[in-house]
Structure 1
């Protein structure tokens, strides 16, 4: 039976009960909303802003305070009231109701602030407060309190106290979450700073070592070449291969140092993003690789539509040069050599790939593939320094993307990469 179906007398009697029930529902919905807000709060200030408003709304009070325990004092950190109260002030735990609530670990309900020995009446005379309720934030080792105040004589009911204590309990959890979150952020920040410092030191060390090694290497290489050119006829037959080996190894070391320098510069080089036509870029690279290939090699290169992307053109050129030159290199001995360069979609994300029918590698060792100076083939079989794929991975990651490889020995390899959402 609805209220409208009752007699006028019964309707009058039922209205307060119906109103109380609706108010309970509204309060519970508001409390659920507050709990959700507090779960997302990431600072004490945000928590106090939420709680000071919610405390008034849930109890229908004229004012609310958020009190923090500061050793043996109560700090009135925040408030929301029809007139100013005590925001920013500190009082001894033994001299205020918030202190009593924290020390006794229970709620204080005071219908008349001027008729309760726990209330410092002189502090309340200049204010609008006639009645109040104070609940501790956490009943075990309280860390604060939430107070509500009325400008008329009012005795908070059990429903109001239950809502207020539920708010205080949720506030306690939110404050603990903020503390843990802050500690985690501090640890992450500290760890990030340590890693950044270590990376800078390592890059600086790599750069210095590489730079300092170049001069003596050039001297060794230059003097050996001069000696061979000027005195080659007088060098014993068994000595000439030794000198040629020295020159060859200094050239290889110089190439390795140049790659190491290039790798160390990648972290310091800023990304200059703009629209890059990968079709034009790949066309130039393939043309250059064909020109540099051994005469007579039969190389079939298929280039599909690659489109455009957003990225650093010089760095992306380095990625494609390294991948395509590897495809040309590792297909030596294949007749014909087949290389495919294309683009496909993985959901909404574009994926570019370079595929060949070359030597391939064992996927058991794929974890070493992108490491600096890591090689899966001997230098006698395929020249290189083992830095190229490390450079590729670093550039791709700096663009927010990923690179992966698929292969099998003797069956070629496919390198696929993305460039992040900005691509």
Structure 2
């Protein structure tokens, strides 16, 4: 993956926002975000996660190696779940120094550092995560970019939910 300047990453985020305003479903949102989020974060992988009750469902990924797309985990056993429950960004510079999660799940992958950003303002039901194969600090530009992306995705999903209700559908899945 080509290294982008911070300005190029913000431009990519702005271009993504332009595309997201035309999304008509969560699947469309995922299809727009999945291929660009890795470049925005300058990460080795990203996942988009949905909360289903007390489980997390890994909807999509774009990574240097297979992660967890299509798998579910208890919400309290994954960092994307922690971000949703705590309603705040989780920044982990070194995965080996995290408590309260099954470390073996992460160590079985390339992941050594990560950021998990909740999507949505009130009781987030989605999260986007970026992962790196080397442990180390996650720079403030990356945190700001990922949080901005999370806010935009949350806004788009909120609008889609309102439209679904207005159209008489009980959920976005209908």
TM-score by structure 2 length?
Answer: 0.88
Partner of 1:161: 143
Distance 1:136 1:50 in 2: 18
Q: Which residue in the other structure is 1:99 paired with? A: 81
Cα pair 1:56 1:148 within 8 Å, conserved:
yes
Aligned partner of 2:25 in structure 1 is 43
The offset of 1:178, in angstroms, is: 2.1
What SS is found at the alignment partner of 1:135? strand
Aligned partner of 2:52 in structure 1 is 70
For the residue of structure 2 that corresponds to 1:42, the secondary structure is: coil
CA distance in 2, matches of 1:158, 1:139: 21
CA distance in 2, matches of 1:175, 1:50: 13
Say whether 1:137 aligns with 2:119. Answer: yes
Gap regions ≥5 residues in structure 2: 170-174
Return the offset for 1:118.
4.1
- DSSP 3-state at the match of 1:40: coil
- 2:6 counterpart of 1:24: yes
Q: Is the 8 A contact 2:119 2:154 kept in 1?
A: yes
CA–CA separation in structure 1 for the residues paired with 2:109 and 2:7? 32
CA distance in 2, matches of 1:52, 1:141: 23
Superposed displacement of residue 185, structure 1? 4.7
| Aligned-CA RMSD value | 1.7
How big is each residue's C-alpha offset from its partner over 1:6-58, in whole Å with a ceiling of 9 and x where there is no partner? xxxxxxxxxxxxxxxx8221122111111111110111111012222232111
For structure 1, which runs of at least 5 residues remain unmatched after alignment?
1-21, 188-423
TM-score (normalizing by structure 1): 0.38
Task: Please tell me whether residue 116 in structure 1 is matched to residue 98 in structure 2.
Answer: yes
Paired residue secondary structure (1:85): coil
Paired residue total:
166
Q: CA deviation at 1:62?
A: 0.7
Cα deviation for residue 186 of structure 1 reads: 5.2
Question: Structure 1 residue 83 and structure 2 residue 65: aligned?
Answer: yes
Q: Structure 1 residue 177: deviation in Å?
A: 2.1
1:205-252: CA deviation from partner (whole Å, max 9, x where unpaired): xxxxxxxxxxxxxxxxxxxxxxxxxxxxxxxxxxxxxxxxxxxxxxxx
Instruction: State whether residues 40 and 145 of structure 2, in contact with CA within 8 Å, keep that contact through their aligned partners in structure 1.
Output: yes
Q: Could you say which residue in structure 2 is the equivalent of 1:172?
A: 154
Q: Give the whole-Å Cα distance in 1 for the aligned partners of 2:156 and 2:61.
A: 18
Specify the SS of the correspondent of 2:15.
Answer: helix
Shift of 1:117: 0.8
Greater helix percent: which structure?
Answer: 1
Give the 3-state SS of the residue equivalent to 1:91 in structure 2: strand
SS in 2 for 1:48: helix
What whole-Å deviation, never above 9, does each CA across 1:250-271 have from its counterpart, x for those lacking one?
xxxxxxxxxxxxxxxxxxxxxx
Distance in 2 (CA, whole Å) between partners of 1:103 and 1:126 is 24
Judge conservation of contact 2:116–2:129 (CA < 8 Å) in 1: yes
Q: Distance in 1 between matches of 2:134 and 2:162?
A: 41
Alpha-carbon contact 1:97-1:118 (below 8 Å) kept: no
In 2, distance between residues paired with 1:53 and 1:149?
14
